[in-house]
Structure 1
Amino acid sequence: MYAAVPRAVIEVSSRHAPHRVVVVDADAELVAAVGAADPVAVARALADGADPDSAASPYTATVLSEAASTGHLEIARLLVDAGASLRARRPQYESPLQSAVRNGHLGVVRLLVDSGALEVEGTDGGSLLTNAIAATWHRPQPAALDVLRYLLDLGVGAEPGKEAPIVRAVLGSAAPATIRILLSHGADPNSRRSDGTPALILAARRGDHAAVDVLLTAGADPNAVDGNGHTALMHAIERDERAVSRALLLAGADPAGALEIARGWQRQIVQFELGEMSVGLDDVPIARTAVRLHPTGYELRGDPAEFRRWGQLVACAAEELGDDEWDTRTGTPYALAQTVARRLVDEPAKAPRASWYRIELTEAELDTLRQAFVELVFAVRVTLPDGLGQEYVRDALDELDAQLSQQS
């Protein structure tokens, strides 16, 4: 039963007696019928003259987009047959096709495509693939994979100027099934992010050994390097991702340079895996690309250069927002952000029996550091210091969050 809709009551006088005529608001009737998922009521409202592009308010999507997002195929077909627009109601809204893709409704996707929705999407159609990939981790179900496969079969490609679909999948920690579908439809296992980082390294840095294995099986180069000359094996060892490093070694990754990194981080198990016969807590200087959160307390370990970059990023975010906005947006004091920025630059001290430097932060200071990264990734757009890019900040935030989740 669908919800009650507004009805206008008109009194008509006649010679015999006044009587009332009830006038139904057909558009409101249609909105209520779609919300109640009642195809019979939808058909009746359309027969009463309802606009198939009706919406609950000026600020909501059309009824076709609503039906597409919830997967009501019969209702979507009634609306399409009645002439509902396949376009997004406003530029900032999703089109009906985008809504169906994002929610993994293959039947509605097919209906809309058969009705010409791909042509309507035009140059915006590339984001369909992004939505389809995202659906496989936001709403993981077989239908999400079916939608992704269907779009790829149609030849839907990546958004112009955006990251390759397989890079987006790795960055989103997509399931191996998603990555395999992309690869089976021609994705390059050696694809690189816009900053030149291979997808294999992105997966290794995140400890995603399943994605690493899928990429290697598809022919990814285990010895590809990033802009710093580091391989996936080097990154995995720095981050103590042993399942990843083993997968890489079994795939033929060159251990050259990796043993020195294992010594520098005192990864003793990895040293044995790389062929060392005896290991110790050696003070071996190396160039680090990671800052690690020590399991006890809030001790950060890394190189002075990395700490300096982190301090500059905190200062950059704080200066861009200013005193009042920083306090409002982050919930942490502006003065504390200034303190954290200064401490990261000035206070890291060399560990007594290791080559890394370390600094102890309070819980509030660590939260302030994280909030600065969040603002730089998701909110403020500023010129970052020392030529650092958004990719660097996003990677730092992802790795910090991963370590914090391990401690919780």
Structure 2
Amino acid sequence: MTEKAGSERAGREGGDADRRLIAAVADGDDAAVEGALAGGADPDVLVTRWRRSVLVAAASAGRADIARRLLDAGASVTRVGGFGASPLRAAVTASAPAVVRLLLERGALTTEPGVLAQAVGRPTHRPAPGGLEVLAHLLAEGAESGPDEEAALVVAVTASAAPAVLRVLLAHGADPDRRRSDGTPVIVLAARRGDHAALDVLVGAGADVEAADAMGRTALMHAVERDHKKAAGVLLLAGADPGAVSPDGTTASRLARGWGLQNIRFRLGEDVVGREVAVIERTTLRLRPTGVRIDGDPAMFGFLADVVAIVLGDLGDAEWATRTGLSAADARAFAVRLRTDAVAAEQGSWFEVGASMTELATVRSALVEMAYGTTRTTPVGTTRVDVEDLLRELELRLAG
């Protein structure tokens, strides 16, 4: 046999072994995997359709036995395939603690600086029995947030993660007084979202109930302004001071009066509640289901108009229409109305702007693009996290 013919035959045999290995991993057949590897299969062979390794495929299936056999045969624990798939990310996505533990033992963590955020979010988006154990394994091995990521506890609170996720993070050393990159304490983030379960976990772990954000407003102030009664109740039971005053003279009671929230004023300890009007600086919006009516301050409406205008300018009319399915001309017209059509409420200190559902969708789409899209400019004096906060609160209002 010539040298060339021998080489071609070896290549065919190797290709056949690789195909047998791919099929064996897909079938979850450990014995067939062993046979294919013994026959010369490449333990790093890629599954062609997704350009992912067979080790990623085994991790996705939660098969620690097959993953171990591939690793023992020399499979790379660090190889990343299509769509950023790596063995460790696949195991985290599959909520497969045995595979995660195996991969960590083989040094996977050093190549995965962003996997912790994935492990924090997975139990919320796709709850599975192994999700908490996966998170605990990563934390025990020293997993940390990436340099451009928020701390894991911030990610969890922002995503309204299950209380069990917060408890795992806190049990592994997370600081209950952790602050987001803009200085907002996690207890304030939870209060703004009305997440009374998260608040209960945080205060139980010793979080400072009087911790304030950049405006000097406490978690109780934010819960009250948004009429989150259960959240306010948790904070009050934990000792939050209803008489605390922010640097601009705002109190929880004044915020309640500014929005005309009588019920929550009783929770704050007031014995006699009327329809007193208080002028406040608002940090949120309120939607009314009559057509749609947006309640807020002229400054907040101007902020929304700026967001729409900036996103339109960044994307251009055609790209805006493609990405949102909405008319750029109509969006521009609504931005003008946000600046000019606000009228004072008859029985409150807030202002109102009437809007159609399409116009409300325009605001939401612009906020989404600025928070998560390609637009990098934000209105003067604001950041992307301010935009993200308002978007999440708007979606809470829409869902409620």
Is the shorter-chain TM-score for this pair beyond 0.5, marking a shared fold? yes
The residue aligned with 2:98 is 107
Q: 1:45: Cα distance to partner?
A: 1.8
1:160 aligns with 2:151: no
The aligned residue for residue 19 of structure 1 is none
Q: 1:197 aligns with which of 156, 169, 184?
A: 184
Matched residue, 2:196: 209
Mapping for residues 9-48 of structure 1, pairs under 5 Å: 25-48=16-39
What is aligned with 1:148?
135
What aligned pairs does 1:4-403 form with structure 2 within 5 A after superposition?
25-57=16-48, 59-90=50-81, 93-119=84-110, 121=111, 125-256=112-243, 257-403=251-397
- Secondary structure of 1:385's match? coil
Query: Structure 1 stretches of 5 or more lacking a match?
Result: 1-21
Distance 1:38 1:340 in 2: 60
Preserved CA contact (<8 Å) 2:306 2:335? yes
Cα deviation code 1:262-285 (max 9, x no counterpart): 111111011112222222222221
Q: Deviations over 1:201-243 (max 9, x none)?
A: 1001111000011111111111111111211111111111000
Tell whether the 8 Å contact from 1:61 to 1:93 is kept in structure 2 after alignment: no
Contact 1:317 1:380 in 2 (8 A): no
Q: CA–CA distance in 1 between the matches of 2:127 and 2:231? A: 24
Contact 2:100 2:137 in 1 (8 A): no
SS for the counterpart of 2:130 is: helix
Q: Which amino acid aligns with 1:100?
A: A
Deviation string, structure 1 residues 30-50 (Cα, Å, up to 9, x no partner): 222212222222222222211
Equivalent position SS for 1:293 = strand
TM-score by length of 2: 0.91
> What do residues 238-258 of structure 1 show as CA deviations (whole Å, max 9, x unaligned)?
111000011111111111211
Work out whether residues 28 and 56 of structure 1, in 8 Å CA contact, stay in contact via their aligned partners in 2.
Answer: no
Letter of the structure 2 residue corresponding to residue 163 of structure 1: E
Aligned 8 A contact 1:103 1:135 in 2: no
Query: So what's the TM-score if we normalise by structure 1?
Result: 0.90
CA contact (8 A) 2:104 2:141 kept: no
CA RMSD of aligned residues (A): 1.7
**Offset at 1:58?**
7.1
1:104 to partner: Cα distance: 1.4
Distance 1:246 1:347 in 2: 37
One-letter amino acid of the counterpart of residue 117, structure 1 = A
Name 1:3's counterpart in structure 2: none
**CA–CA distance in structure 1, aligned partners of residues 385 and 239 of structure 2:** 28
The percent identity for this pair of structures is 48
